[in-house]
């Protein structure tokens, strides 16, 4: 059973997950919080839950964070 | 853009963000043109950086990459100018603007994949499933029962659209953004489709005793 941990994690759904639309709508706010060292995950748990489950949105999050850090 | 600076609320913005909004909000003139040129250069730099960051998984290179960067910067520029009034100062203006170009890069890469490779809904060989989830070869034989149960659940529990999305994304490794193009919808709709599919499949595997109802994420935390 433990060999399928990755499958189990993939199938798990988090009721706090806000979905792509809401997460992307405030991604800039979330990223500025992360870049400033604030606890973005605590402030926006639904966005954090979404980024943990959605590969494409997580990729966008890391892209935006990289752009902000490169400019600072 | 025809509206002037008076139509843009600037209260509470940081100094740099206020300067951006003021310059881009002008009806016309050298300040507006200079700000647009600066913004475009910034967006192009971010688009190129993002494409470089994603380059290991891109499957495109050279002039094609730069073409995507220019298209993403141009489309982001148009979106930013048309949505300038919606900027409320909740983040720095530059972070807000970068978001547009990063999302444009994502969309264009999904479309590029769809154009070059298409999307296959043929499940092909279900024996690839253990490999997709990193099951060690020594345990593949033991995992066969669970793979068969998952296949049955996919075929019996999911709607046709959910099954197609599952096969394309999970079995065939197609990027979700390419499935979005194929389904002529948006990322949120395909994600929601997969979210519901994941929930149904897990419930089916828990009911058959293959997975525990325990939330494995609690172990990871």
Same-domain check for residues B109 and B14: yes
A34-67 pLDDT, tens per residue?
999 999 999 999 999 999 999 999 999 999 999 9
Same-domain check for residues B113 and B130: no
Which of B53, B106, B139 is the closest to A3 by Cβ? B139
Task: From B80, B99, B117, give the residue that closes a domain.
Answer: B117
Same-domain check for residues B46 and B74: yes
B34-43 pLDDT, tens per residue?
999 999 999 9
pLDDT surpassing 50 at residue B4 = no
Task: From B117, B148, B163, give the residue that closes a domain.
Answer: B117
Shortest distance between the Cα of B28 and any Cα of chain A, in A, equals 28
Same-domain check for residues B112 and B142: no
pLDDT surpassing 70 at residue B199 = yes
- Is the Cβ–Cβ distance between B48 and B104 less than 8 Å? no
Can you give the pLDDT at residue B11? 61
Predicted TM-score of the model (pTM): 0.89
B182-208 burial code (b ≥16 CB/10 A, e <16): bbeeebbbbbbbbbebbebbbebbeee
Domain that holds residue B34: 5-117
B103-119 pLDDT, tens per residue?
999 999 999 999 999 99
Can you give the pLDDT at residue B219? 46
Mean pLDDT, rounded, for B186-191? 98
Same-domain check for residues B142 and B96: no
Domains in chain B: how many in total?
A: 2
Mean pLDDT, rounded, for B166-175? 93
Interface probe for A, chosen from B83, B89, B154, B191 (most Cβ of A below 10 Å), is B191
DSSP, residue by residue, chain A: -GGGHHHHHHH---TT--HHHHHHHTHHHHHHHHHTT--HHHH-HHHHHHHHH-HHHHHHHHHHHHHHHHH-
Same-domain check for residues B131 and B113: no
Which of the pair, B163 or B129, is modelled with greater confidence? B163
pLDDT band at B217 (very low <50, low <70, confident <90, very high): low
- Domain borders along chain A are 2-71
Same-domain check for residues B108 and B176: no
Shortest distance between the Cα of B218 and any Cα of chain A, in A, equals 10
Can you give the pLDDT at residue A1? 45
């Amino acid at each position: 059973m433990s060999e399928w941990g990755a499958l189990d994690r993939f199938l798990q759904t988090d009721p706090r997950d806000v979905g792509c639309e809401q997460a992307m709508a405030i991604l800039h706010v979330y990223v500025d919080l992360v870049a400033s060292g604030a606890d973005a995950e605590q402030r926006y748990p639904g966005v954090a839950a979404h980024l943990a489950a959605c590969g494409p949105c997580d990729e966008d999050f890391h892209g935006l964070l990289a752009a902000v850090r490169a400019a600072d | 853009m025809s509206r002037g600076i008076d139509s843009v609320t600037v209260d509470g913005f940081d100094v740099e963000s206020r300067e951006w909004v003021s310059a881009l909000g002008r009806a016309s003139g050298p300040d507006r043109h200079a700000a647009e040129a600066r913004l475009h250069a910034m967006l192009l730099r971010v688009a190129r950086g993002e494409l470089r960051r994603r380059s290991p998984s891109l499957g495109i290179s050279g002039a094609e990459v730069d073409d995507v960067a220019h298209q993403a910067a141009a489309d982001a520029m148009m979106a930013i100018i048309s949505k300038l009034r919606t900027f409320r100062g909740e983040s720095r203006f530059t972070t807000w603007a970068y978001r547009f170009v990063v999302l444009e890069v994502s969309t264009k890469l999904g479309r590029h994949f769809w154009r070059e490779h298409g999307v296959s809904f043929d499940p092909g060989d279900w024996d690839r499933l253990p490999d997709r989830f990193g099951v060690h070869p020594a345990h593949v034989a033991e995992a066969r029962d669970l793979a068969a149960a998952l296949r049955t659940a996919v075929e019996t529990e999911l709607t046709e659209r959910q099954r197609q999305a599952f096969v394309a994304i999970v079995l065939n490794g197609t990027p979700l953004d390419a499935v979005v193009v194929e389904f002529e919808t948006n990322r949120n709709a395909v994600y929601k489709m997969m979210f519901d599919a994941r929930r149904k499949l897990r419930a089916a595997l828990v009911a058959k005793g293959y997975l525990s109802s325990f939330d494995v994420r609690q172990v990871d935390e």
